[in-house]
Amino acid sequence: MRFSFDKAACQNTRRALRKEWLLTNGLGDYAGSSILCCNTRKYHGLLTVNTPLGRHVLLSALEESVMGGGKEFFLSTRQHPRTLYPHGHEYLESFRLDQWPEFTYRVGDVRLRREMFLIHGTSRLLLRWSIRGLSKLPPLTLRIKPLLAYRHFHALTRANSHLRVRTRDVPQGFSITPYEGLPTLYMQVRGPFTFLPSPDWFYNVEYMQERERGFADSEDLFQEGMLGLLTAIRSFEGGRDASFRTFAEICIRSRLYSAVRAAQGSKHSPLNHSVSFEPPLFDGTNAYLFSSEESPEDVIIGREELRERLDALKGQLSEFEASILSPYLSGLSCGEIARRVGRSPKAVDNAVQRIRRKVARNFSSSGSSES
């Protein structure tokens, strides 16, 4: 299933900020934001990882801009008191979600595309920038400032003196461990780049949907420095109608506690025991689109674990229960399933209730054995 929004939809910020996307990796990690890539919840972030201390938002966002012809054009945006800043959403021409989200920006005659991939089975986020435009472009530099939260995904953070302002050089990038006991974050670039340390705090970043829910809605994000991807598209050859060409890639990864994680592979916090029988938003992929009526944590928590446990549960289901499970999880109503299998809606509903009870017993017994 594909979703796409054109420029008119993206420029309607009131609605666009309530359209949200989500990527998962099978480990409990996720990336998610609005289709403007402007976070509207404290649960949003480009890399939230599942640690022994619970899920933590490590990388909240990126401030991205393109320098060319002596001008700087921002591609990113955030919520601050009574305003959106920077105004990168004004250049957003389209958003598309299939297997992964794609954001296409237009600056003059140049189109820039940002794609995001959360690599399944690893805590790695890959960002790819591509370009399409005139055959001769001025030298362009992509500037990226990682904005770090490094806090539990139920919490918010403020500027503080406990954060360790120190980076380490790694091949094609740098790493940072802002707080003792939390994972190290690595940012590595393909191609020529510079890194300019410039530690600073971005104050009063707001999340409108937290405010609407009656929760604290403002925090400060930390910037360690700025990455400059140099002359990545200096000699781009193409035309106005040429296809997009990749000119920059960044891999952001987290070094997790592998041994602890392996030992706790089947052990989950109470949050992870949450079970939802809501249908998957996409079938067979790890990309999701949802509206503001549902919270991303509701989508994330237990979704992948539920699939694993349902596989184990199938041996406990009757032939009829097993036959309706997949259609039900795919979003069909009891009436639609009844017509498909040639049974009454009441029979289907009764079977769904039996499945629910078996799932509850399965989760309960599993939780007891793990405690």
Q: Are 221 and 149 in contact (CB under 8 A)?
A: yes
The pLDDT value recorded for residue 130 is 86
The pLDDT value recorded for residue 335 is 83
Q: In 3D, which of 279, 348, 346, 345 has the Cα closest to residue 320?
A: 348
Q: Is residue 251 part of a domain?
A: yes
3-state SS class at 23: strand
The pLDDT value recorded for residue 311 is 64
Q: Which of 211, 233, 263 is the last residue of a domain?
A: 263
Q: Is the pLDDT of residue 258 over 60?
A: no
Q: Is the pLDDT of residue 55 over 50?
A: yes
Q: Are residues 53 and 79 in the same domain?
A: yes
- CA 279, CA 330: separation in Å to the nearest integer? 5
What are residue 344's phi and psi, to 5 degrees? -80, 150
Q: Are residues 223 and 361 in the same domain?
A: no
Residues in the chain: 371
Q: Are residues 248 and 361 in the same domain?
A: no
- CATH number of the domain residue 158 falls in: 2.70.98
Q: Token pair for residue 19? A: 């359209």
Q: Which of 6-15, 170-179, 259-268, 332-341 has the highest mean pLDDT?
A: 6-15
Average pLDDT over residues 27-54: 94
Out of 14-23, 98-107, 195-204, 268-277, which region has the weakest mean confidence (pLDDT)? 268-277
The pLDDT value recorded for residue 363 is 54
Residue 323 is part of which domain span? 270-280+301-370
Q: In 3D, which of 94, 61, 101 has the Cα closest to residue 77?
A: 61
- CA 365, CA 371: separation in Å to the nearest integer? 10
Q: With b meaning 16 or more CB within 10 Å and e meaning fewer, what string describes 131-163? A: bbbeeebeebbbbbbbbbbbbbbeebbeeeeeb
Q: Is the pLDDT of residue 243 over 80?
A: no
Q: Are residues 231 and 307 in the same domain?
A: no
Q: Token pair for residue 348? A: 């289907």
Q: Token pair for residue 94? A: 């389209």
Q: Is residue 288 part of a domain?
A: no
Q: What is the CA radius of gyration of the chain?
A: 22
The pLDDT value recorded for residue 278 is 33
Higher pLDDT, 280 or 326: 326
The pLDDT value recorded for residue 265 is 41
pLDDT category of residue 275 using cuts at 50, 70 and 90 = very low
Domain count for the chain, please give it.
2
- CA 68, CA 247: separation in Å to the nearest integer? 15
Q: Is residue 287 part of a domain?
A: no
Q: Are residues 59 and 133 in the same domain?
A: yes
Q: Is 288 exposed, middle or buried (0-12, 13-18, 19+ CB in 10 A)?
A: buried
Q: Which of 200-204, 223-227, 273-277 has the highest mean pLDDT?
A: 200-204
Out of 167-176, 188-197, 203-212, which region has the weakest mean confidence (pLDDT)? 188-197
Q: Tens digit of pLDDT for each residue in 62-121?
A: 999 988 888 999 999 999 999 999 999 999 999 999 889 999 999 888 889 999 999 888
Pairing relationship of beta strands 140-152 and 167-170 according to DSSP bridges:
unpaired
Q: Are residues 274 and 243 in the same domain?
A: no
Whole-model pTM: value is: 0.71
Q: Is residue 290 part of a domain?
A: no
Q: Are residues 129 and 30 in the same domain?
A: yes
- CA 150, CA 221: separation in Å to the nearest integer? 9
CA distances to 24, 38, 181, 268, 352 from 338, rounded to whole Å, are 32, 42, 52, 35, 12
The pLDDT value recorded for residue 308 is 59
Q: Which of 238, 263, 288 is the last residue of a domain?
A: 263
- CATH number of the domain residue 310 falls in: 1.10.10
Q: Which amino acid is at 56?
A: H
Average pLDDT over residues 277-294: 46
- CA 272, CA 267: separation in Å to the nearest integer? 9
Q: Which of 122-131, 262-271, 288-297 has the highest mean pLDDT?
A: 122-131
Q: Is residue 289 part of a domain?
A: no
3-state SS class at 361: helix
Out of 65-74, 195-204, 255-264, 359-368, which region has the weakest mean confidence (pLDDT)? 255-264
The pLDDT value recorded for residue 35 is 97
Phi-psi map region of 348: left, alpha, beta (phi>0 left; psi -120 to 50 alpha): alpha
DSSP string computed for 219-258: EEEEEEEEEEETTTTTT----TTPPPEEEEEEEEEEE--H
pLDDT category of residue 291 using cuts at 50, 70 and 90 = low
CA distances to 20, 126, 159 from 42, rounded to whole Å, are 13, 22, 16
The pLDDT value recorded for residue 370 is 45
The pLDDT value recorded for residue 257 is 38
